[in-house]
């Protein structure tokens, strides 16, 4: 890449500032300073971007299209600077100019175009594809409002709109000329053509223009620039007159107005279905247009294009491609089906039944009638073929249409060539239980791809002190090859490295403590253990188990302020889906408990609770480097993988965990001494559930420790909670504790006591922390992407690049 020196940067920056704002640069606001920096950088990378796009066409390299309804990119500025290798130049330049680099960084909005793990994974993957030379194109929706902004009022979660586009976004490029029309509703029928072929005819359709906005995805110091394409719904220009009423205009705009704020429950809502088809159709049309430019026969489509479906949300891509191949390109069903099957692959991210998407057939029929016809045909052919081979029972059980509903996972599985889970245990559960019928029919279709995270964002940028220590200790190769972090292992007895590692942690904890003091008015001691649980609020993730533990400690300390317990700061970050009443009650409970505990002089500051408002990628970047303990305590068998577990580990936090999701792999990597495991295993949970022998009330009645904790929910110990305490109590005792908190509590408590004892020994704790950091490189999303590339997409980059990894 062409080098950029500090002096030139300063000149360019000053000049650009004056051109844009007609004032001197130091008179501008930080927002203006950020905007100009964005423009300067754009001038720097667009050459590569143009070159890359041209190369794609010239070389006809196979393209991967990653369809996701969610991307959670976080702020882009630092990633661009790092990956373009101009981080130091720009930082020094701006500082020389008397500007505040950190403030400028913070002026960028953090686009919350995702709910949680799935969206963040998509963004890590975008970064990794570019960095490993995989030609990957993200396809998503440019929601005008991202995930709601969370506020706590009187301890309750309130949702406010998140207008992330209120300021111009310097990275995106509107590509109006690449817009396509997406057709909804109306009537469709098949009409015989002169040549005897049947072609669909449409009337009274509702047409929407899908306008792409492209954002570059820059590889790490390698000159690669990929593309993230987000579509926005607009009124077609030449159809302006057709949309006369304001309701109709609103109907168009609403399609990409807001991200659906849920990560688990998909009750049938028309708007969400519209969004799914909008993305699928716009994306597929764009791909088809690209392929047609290559002037190759259709049979070669799968050689040039791989389409990945991130969870079932974009599954309508499949019938949409079929529609185009059949209706517009005149292929036969068999030809179209063959092409389509070789092209699509699908990742499953959950086994929670309530999160498995189902759409009533009538909704699909009225919203996208031609697509409904194609799904019927896929269904009919599946049943016919599979009945012949496997008998009708299996054929019907795996069919995409059941009980007048379209089961999106079934549609995705039967129409793809690859189905993967996101951690070893998750894939095993899919194969053995959730999707076992499919496994019988398609034994080779399933594979595992354990999730990963990008160390560029989560270590290099979020944790500069640690990165510098790594450079100094093991050299810089880890920045390209995160696996090389394993070299740190040999410093396990090096007092100086251990001391420095402690200093790094302390620095990060002080930074977070400052934020907490300034923003939340809570004083926390950076020498206390920072015990962190950051993830969406969901019953299966069991934030409530941690709440029980905190109440337990609090009551012990109140009885005996001298009790031998470690001083801890409990950090929570979590949003609850607005309609998820129980999760919102738990939020209120945590806030009420925080009020009580943080202000009770009797316990001597031995416990503080910090529940950060509006948890986001940016907050994660602040919290994770400061964490000592990572809480990964979901009921075994429920968390598909988890990714905060990997980020926290990479930043030297020790994990307390059930053997769930990727925790299993973390545990195997670090060994039993460097992780705190507890609780039932997934198969034990299964046996207990199947036996119907679980009796939570019985545990409550016989177990004084648990009884005392639970009573505090209903006896006024925690002021401020009213019905919440009673409802939560009932969920555990009366409604038999669906997620087995009471069953796992003692084992959890003992593990927490072991954590306390271990934390008291600074040296051995730091050694464990060092092991965790050293082993975390294996969870680099770069490796995960290379496995997708070679096993699923068949686009393994040149051997030269592979050897690097
Ligand atoms: C999440 C899973 O719950 C989590 O375990 C996994 O690590 C992550 O996907 C990435 O694979 N699922 C979601 O976030 N799901 C949705 C619909 O948001």
SS3 for 668-680 is HHHCHHHCEECCC
Strands 405-407 and 63-67 come out as unpaired
Residue 130 CB contacts under 8 Å (≥ 6 apart), including other chains: 83, 136, 217, 218, 219, 220, 222, 224, 225, 226
Ligand 1 in reach of 350 Cβ (< 6 A): yes
171 close to 43: Cβ distance less than 8 angstroms: no
In terms of Cβ atoms closer than 10 Å to its own Cβ (0-12, 13-18, 19+), residue 388 is: exposed
Other C-beta atoms closer than 10 Å to the C-beta of 702 total 10
Q: Is 113 in the pocket of ligand 1 (CB under 6 A)?
A: no
Q: Is 341 a catalytic residue?
A: no
Q: What local confidence, expressed as pLDDT, does residue 268 receive? A: 41
349 is catalytic: yes
User: Residue 787 Cα, ligand 1 centroid: separation in angstroms?
Assistant: 19
- Mean pLDDT, the chain cut into blocks of 10 residues (805 residues total): 88 96 95 97 92 88 97 98 97 98 97 96 98 97 96 98 93 97 93 87 94 98 96 84 77 92 61 96 98 97 98 98 97 98 97 88 96 98 98 98 98 98 98 96 98 98 98 98 98 98 98 98 98 97 98 98 96 95 97 98 96 98 98 98 98 98 98 98 97 98 98 97 96 98 98 98 98 98 97 84 69
Catalytic, out of 358, 536, 608, 768:
536
d(CA 17, CA 25): 6
- The pLDDT value recorded for residue 244 is 67
Using CA atoms, how far apart are residues 498 and 505, in angstroms rounded to an integer? 11
Query: Mutate which of 66, 68, 116 to test ligand 1's pocket (most atoms within 8 Å of Cβ)?
Result: 116
State in Å: Cα 355 to ligand 1 middle. Answer: 10
| Catalytic choice (434, 643, 655, 766) | 643
Q: Confirm if 682 and 637 have CB atoms less than 8 A apart.
A: yes
Contact indicator for 126, 453 with CB cutoff of 8 Å: no
The answer to whether residue 535 is catalytic is: yes
CB-ligand 1 contact for 639 (6 Å cutoff): yes
- Note if 103 is an active site residue: no
Is 313 a catalytic site residue? no
Sign of the CA dihedral 653, 658, 664, 667?
Answer: positive
Beta bridge partners of 306: 64
Which residue among 349, 386, 549, 787 is the active-site one? 349
Pocket test for ligand 1, best of 71, 265, 267, 349 (most atoms within 8 A of CB): 349
- Helical spans, DSSP H, in 295-397: 301-304, 317-323, 333-343, 361-367, 369-390, 392-397
Place of tokens 């934030």: 543
The span from the CA of 299 to the CA of 332, in Å, is 12
DSSP conformational letter for 434: I
Token pair recorded at residue 30: 């930080």
Q: Is the CB of 348 under 6 A from ligand 1?
A: no
DSSP H or E run through 77: helix 77-83
Question: How does DSSP classify residue 299?
Answer: G
CB 203: neighbour CB atoms within 10 A? Answer: 8
Q: What is the DSSP string of 95-146?
A: HHTT--HHHHHHTS----BS-SHHHHHHHHHHHHHHHTT--EEEEEE--SB-
Q: Is the CB of residue 571 less than 8 Å from the CB of residue 610?
A: yes
Which residue CA neighbors atom 16 of ligand 1 most closely? Answer: 263
Reading the block at residue 354, the tokens are: 């309530």
- State whether the beta carbon of 422 lies less than 6 angstroms from ligand 1: yes
Is 262 near ligand 1, meaning CB less than 6 Å away? no
Partners of 2 in the β-ladder: none
Residue with tokens 């399609």: 255
Residue 422 Cα to ligand 1 midpoint, Å, equals 9
Separation CA 206–CA 210 (nearest Å):
13
pLDDT at 705: 98
473 part of the active site: no
What is the spatial distance between Cα 801 and Cα 805, in angstroms, rounded to a whole number? 7
Give me the helices (H) in 430-491, please. Answer: 436-441, 455, 464-474
Q: 68 alpha carbon to ligand 1 midpoint, in Å?
A: 12
Find out whether 46 and 280 touch, Cβ atoms under 8 Å: no
pLDDT at 303: 97
Q: In whole angstroms, give the CA distance from residue 639 to residue 642.
A: 6
- Alpha-carbon distance of 406 to 410, in angstroms, equals 8
| Cα(584)–Cα(728) distance, integer angstroms | 11
484, 487, 662 from 504: Cα distances, Å: 20, 18, 26
Q: How far is Cα 335 from Cα 645, in angstroms, rounded to an integer?
A: 44
Residue whose CA lies nearest to ligand 1 atom number 13: 118
Say how far apart CA 335 and CA 594 lie, in whole Å.
62
The residue among 23, 39, 215 whose CA lies nearest residue 137 is 215
Whether the CB-CB separation of 754 and 485 falls below 8 Å is answered with no
Residues with Cβ within 8 Å of residue 166, at least 6 apart in sequence:
109
- What phi and psi values does residue 552 have, to the nearest 5 degrees? -55, -50
Q: How far apart are CA 641 and CA 448, in angstroms?
A: 11
Domains of the chain by range and CATH?
Answer: 1-53+76-109 (no CATH), 60-75+110-451+787-804 (3.40.50.2000), 525-773 (3.40.50.2000)
CA pair distance 505, 466, nearest whole angstrom: 8
802 C-alpha to center of ligand 1: Å? 28
Give residue 266's pLDDT. Answer: 47
Alpha carbon 689 to its chain's center = 29
ipTM: 0.98
Residue 453 DSSP label: B
Assess whether the C-beta atom of 431 lies below 6 angstroms from ligand 1.
no
The CA-CA-CA angle for residues 148, 229, 461, to 5°, reads 65
Is the backbone of residue 35 left (phi > 0), alpha (psi -120 to 50) or beta? alpha
Nearest to 780 by CA among 131, 29, 7, 14: 131
Ligand 1 atom nearest to 639, measured from its CA:
5
What number of CA atoms fall less than 13 Å from residue 510's CA on the CB side? Answer: 7
CA of 570 to the centre of ligand 1 (A): 24
Identify any residues that bridge with 225 across adjacent strands, giving them in sequence order: 218
């Amino acid at each position: 890449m062409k080098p950029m020196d500090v002096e030139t940067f300063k000149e360019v920056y000053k000049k650009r500032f004056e051109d844009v704002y007609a004032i001197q640069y130091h008179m501008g606001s930080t927002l203006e300073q950020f905007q100009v920096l964005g423009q300067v950088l754009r001038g720097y990378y667009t050459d590569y971007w143009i070159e890359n796009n041209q190369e794609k066409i010239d070389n006809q390299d196979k393209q991967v299209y990653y369809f996701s309804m969610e991307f959670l990119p976080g702020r882009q500025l630092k990633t661009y600077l790092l990956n373009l290798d101009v981080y130091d130049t720009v930082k020094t330049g701006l500082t020389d100019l008397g500007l505040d680099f950190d403030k400028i960084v913070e002026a960028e909005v953090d686009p919350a175009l995702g709910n949680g793990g799935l969206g963040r994974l998509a963004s890590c993957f975008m970064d990794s594809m570019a960095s490993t030379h995989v030609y990957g194109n993200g396809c998503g929706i440019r929601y005008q409002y991202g995930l709601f902004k969370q506020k706590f009022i009187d301890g309750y979660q309130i949702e406010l709109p998140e207008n992330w586009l209120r300021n111009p976004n310097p990275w995106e490029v509107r590509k109006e000329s690449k817009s396509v029309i997406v057709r909804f509703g109306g009537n469709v029928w098949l009409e015989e053509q002169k040549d005897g072929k049947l072609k669909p005819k449409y009337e009274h359709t509702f047409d929407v223009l899908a306008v792409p906005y492209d954002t570059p995805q820059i590889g790490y110091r390698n000159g690669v620039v990929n593309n993230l394409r987000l579509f926005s719904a607009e009124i077609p220009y030449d159809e302006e007159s057709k949309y006369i009423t304001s309701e109709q205009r609103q109907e168009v705009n609403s399609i990409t107005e807001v991200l659906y704020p849920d990560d688990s429950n998909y009750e049938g809502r028309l708007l969400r279905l519209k969004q799914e088809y909008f993305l699928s159709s716009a994306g597929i049309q764009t791909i088809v247009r690209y392929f047609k430019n290559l002037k190759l026969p259709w049979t070669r489509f799968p050689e040039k294009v791989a389409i990945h479906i991130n969870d079932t949300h974009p599954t309508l891509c499949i019938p949409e491609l079929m529609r185009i191949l059949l209706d517009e390109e005149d292929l036969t069903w068999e030809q179209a089906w063959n092409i389509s099957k070789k092209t699509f692959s699908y990742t499953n991210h959950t086994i929670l039944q309530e999160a498995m998407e189902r759409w009533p057939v009538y909704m699909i029929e009225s919203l996208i009638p031609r697509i409904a016809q194609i799904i019927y045909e896929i269904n009919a052919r599946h049943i016919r073929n599979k009945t012949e081979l496997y008998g009708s029972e299996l054929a019907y059980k795996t069919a995409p249409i059941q009980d007048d509903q379209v089961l999106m996972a079934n549609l995705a599985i039967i129409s793809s060539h690859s189905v993967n889970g996101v951690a070893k245990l998750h894939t095993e559960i899919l194969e053995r239980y959730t999707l076992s019928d499919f496994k019988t029919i398609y034994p080779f279709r399933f594979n595992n791809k354990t999730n990963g995270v990008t160390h560029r964002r989560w270590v290099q940028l979020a944790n500069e002190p640690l990165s510098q220590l790594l450079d100094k200790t093991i050299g810089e190769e880890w920045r390209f090859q995160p696996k090389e972090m394993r070299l740190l292992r040999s410093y396990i007895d090096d007092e100086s490295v251990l001391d420095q590692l402690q200093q790094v942690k302390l620095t990060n904890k002080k930074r977070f403590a400052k934020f907490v003091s300034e923003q939340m008015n809570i004083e926390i001691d950076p020498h206390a253990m920072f015990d962190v649980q950051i993830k969406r609020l969901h019953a299966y993730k069991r934030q409530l188990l941690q709440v029980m533990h905190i109440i337990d400690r609090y009551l012990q300390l109140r009885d005996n302020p001298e009790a031998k317990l470690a001083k801890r700061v409990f950090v929570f970050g979590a949003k609850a889906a607005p309609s998820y009443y129980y999760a919102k009650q738990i939020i209120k409970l945590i806030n009420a408990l925080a009020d009580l505990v943080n202000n009770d002089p009797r316990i001597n500051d031995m416990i503080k609770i910090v529940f950060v408002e509006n948890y986001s990628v940016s907050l994660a970047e602040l919290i994770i480097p400061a964490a000592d303990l990572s809480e990964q305590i979901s009921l075994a068998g429920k968390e598909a993988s988890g990714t905060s577990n990997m980020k926290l580990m990479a930043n030297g936090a020790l994990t307390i965990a059930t053997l769930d999701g990727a925790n299993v792999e973390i545990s195997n990597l670090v060994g039993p001494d460097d992780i705190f495991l507890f609780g039932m295993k997934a198969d034990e949970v299964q046996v207990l559930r199947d036996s119907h022998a679980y009796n939570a009330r019985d545990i409550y009645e016989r177990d004084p420790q648990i009884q005392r904790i639970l009573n505090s929910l209903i006896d006024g110990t925690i002021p401020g909670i009213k019905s919440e305490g009673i409802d939560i109590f009932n969920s555990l005792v009366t409604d038999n504790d669906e997620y087995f908190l009471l069953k796992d509590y003692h084992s959890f408590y003992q593990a927490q006591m072991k954590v306390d004892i271990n934390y008291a020994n600074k040296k051995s704790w730091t050694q464990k922390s060092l092991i965790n950091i050293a082993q975390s490189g294996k969870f680099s999303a770069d490796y995960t992407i290379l496995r997708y590339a070679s096993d699923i997409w068949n686009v393994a980059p040149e051997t030269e690049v592979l050897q690097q990894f």
